[in-house]
Structure formats: structure tokens, C-alpha cells
Amino acid sequence: MPSPFGLKRIMSTIPITESRNLALLYHLNSEPWLNQQAYSQPSQMSAFKTLGKAEVTLPVCGSTPLTELIGARTSCRNFANAPISIGGLASLLHHTYGTLGLREDGTARMHHRPVPSAGALYPLELYVLVRAVDGLPPGLYHYAAWRHSLELVDTGASMEDFLAELLRQFYVAEASAIVFFTAVFPRTMKKYGPRGYRYILLEAGHAAQNLCLLAAEQKLATLCLGGFRDSAINAKLGLNVAIEGAVYSVAVGHSA
Ligand SMILES: Cc1cc2nc3c(=O)[nH]c(=O)nc-3n(C[C@H](O)[C@H](O)[C@H](O)COP(=O)(O)O)c2cc1C
């Protein structure tokens, strides 16, 4: 019987013999859907919760280089048609999710990475769609974090190809690059089960924030993009969809 959630289609790609795969069923069932009414509503002020209890007013906060970067980060939907440098991109990738050296943790030697990771399992992989990076031909690359190198995935991949799958958010057409955060789900879920799925998404948020703040430090602009067609993007990235999927993406470039 056809399911309103498209389970029939999904079961053909992910076996549901173990409970942890329910999280992956959810993942594939959360492809974009359009609530036209919600999209047509004007932006609103943030909502805040107030308990109506006695309050302690906090001191006014000072400014530091980090607080300035946090304040400078904002969503850019007007990129300039200008390249970023390969050195700048290298720094973004390295400090977003690279390896910062080895450290001893009890009896284990482990990589020190720029984000916290549940169980130090580091489920994320980064792919970079390069449109305009000085010193790097356009195309799709995989960031080999351990070697701090870019592996060429597809020389023919272009921003135009990806735009349709980014829900036609044409304002990223001029971004210099888009970094896709993908997850190898079993790395974390084999230890934490379905809860590991949450941990993976949380970790992607940590990594994406690193990228946004590092870009702000280089006076570059970013746009975090959760709106993309998973199946199509996964296919374009060449992922093994039984265990991997794109979870987040960030466009980076110069603000116009
Ligand atoms: C998980 C997530 C997904 C988002 N996806 C999109 C997106 O697909 N397209 C877009 O234009 N903005 C997207 N945004 C950016 C938000 O619209 C933006 O952060 C919000 O309007 C607040 O503005 P600011 O980033 O300038 O502070 C996303 C933000 C988050 C955290």
C-alpha cells in the first residue's frame, strides 16, 4: 500500500532491520516541502520566552575580536562575482573540520579537530563546489581532512547544475564556493543508535559556525543553506546513500 510518507521508495535504499535506521528514514522523509502560506508571510521579530519572575539585569558586554566576528556574521544573499584565494579556502576548510594535530586521550592517540564530536567519532565529510577560487579549477572536490588536500570528484560540476537542487536559490549563483557538510551516519550511530543522528546534526552546526566565523575573519560573506533536495544533491556528490547524506551547506564568497 502506498504510504503518505513515501516509505516504499525509501525502504528500497535503506534497510530498516535495526531501530537506528528509523532516524535515517526520518532523514530521507524530510526532503523539502513547500508551505506556501508560511513562505509568503513577512519576516517577524524573534520570539522570546519570559517567565514573568524577578530578574537580575546583566552587565553590558565588552567587545573582543571574537565577539566582533560573531556580530559581523550575517546571511549574504547578494554575492559579488569575484574569486576567493586558494589559501583562504584552505584555511576555511582546515579550521572548520581539518585535523589540528594528534593528542593523547588516556591510552588512545587521537586527532584534535576544530569541533566537539560525540564520542570523538567525527562523522562529517566536507565537499566543496568550486566556482571561483584563484588557483583551483572549478569543479567538485572532497576535502581529505587528514591529508589537508582536495580530491577531485567531478571536473564538470558547476554552480548552474547545483542551483536547481538548491531550490533555485539563485542568490548563491555568484558565490565563490559552496561547502557541503555530509555525514557518514554509521560512524556515530553504531555507538549511539538513533540518538547519534541528533549528534550528527549538532556537530554539523558546530562546523558550519566555524566556517561562517572564519569567513567573517577573512571579510568574506556566507549563507547557510538547509534548503536543498537531498536525493539530488547526494547523487551529485556521489555519496553512498545507504550510509551517507548531505546534512548542511554553506555558500561563501564576497559580498556585492
Ligand atoms: C539550519 C538553517 C538553514 C537555513 N537555510 C537557508 C536556506 O536554505 N536559504 C536561505 O536563504 N537562508 C537559510 N538560512 C539562513 C537564515 O534564513 C538566516 O540565518 C536567518 O534569516 C537569520 O539571519 P542572519 O543569518 O543574517 O542572522 C538557514 C539558516 C539555518 C540555521
**CATH number for position 187:** 3.40.109.10
Looking at residue 84, its pLDDT comes to 98
Query: Taking residues 170-190, what's their average pLDDT?
Result: 96
- Tell me the pLDDT tens digit for each residue of 209-243: 999 999 999 999 999 999 999 999 999 999 998 89
Confidence of residue 19 (pLDDT cuts 50, 70, 90): low
| Helix (H) / strand (E) containing 198 | helix 194-217
| Side chain identity at residue 74, one-letter code | T
Q: Are strands 139-144 and 149-154 parallel, antiparallel or unpaired?
A: antiparallel
**In whole angstroms, how large is the CA radius of gyration of the chain?**
20
Looking at residue 188, its pLDDT comes to 95
Whether residue 225 has its Cβ less than 6 Å from ligand 1: yes
User: Containing domain of residue 112, as a range?
Assistant: 76-255
Which range among 16-30, 94-108, 204-218 shows the weakest confidence by mean pLDDT?
16-30
Å from CA of 81 to ligand 1 middle: 21
CA atoms within 13 A on the CB side of 195: 4
| Any domain includes 216 | yes
| Helix (H) / strand (E) containing 86 | helix 86-97
Å from CA of 223 to ligand 1 middle: 7
Predicted TM-score (pTM) of the model is 0.92
Looking at residue 16, its pLDDT comes to 47
Work out how many domains the chain is built from and give that number: 1
Instruction: Tell the residue nearest (CA) to atom 20 of ligand 1.
Output: 75
Looking at residue 176, its pLDDT comes to 98
| Any domain includes 189 | yes
Pocket test for ligand 1, best of 163, 209, 223, 224 (most atoms within 8 A of CB): 224
pLDDT-above-70 percentage for the chain: 92
| Any domain includes 46 | no
Confidence of residue 20 (pLDDT cuts 50, 70, 90): low
Instruction: Tell the residue nearest (CA) to atom 21 of ligand 1.
Output: 75
| Any domain includes 16 | no
Q: Is 37 helix (H, G, I), strand (E, B) or coil?
A: helix
Query: Taking residues 174-201, what's their average pLDDT?
Result: 95
Whether residue 32 has its Cβ less than 6 Å from ligand 1: no
| Any domain includes 248 | yes
Confidence of residue 2 (pLDDT cuts 50, 70, 90): very low
Whether residue 226 has its Cβ less than 6 Å from ligand 1: yes
| Any domain includes 38 | no
Å from CA of 224 to ligand 1 middle: 5
Query: Taking residues 166-174, what's their average pLDDT?
Result: 95
Å from CA of 222 to ligand 1 middle: 10
| Any domain includes 127 | yes
Looking at residue 13, its pLDDT comes to 52
| Any domain includes 21 | no
Q: Which residues contact 153 (CB under 8 A, 6 or more apart)?
A: 127, 139, 140, 141, 142, 237, 238
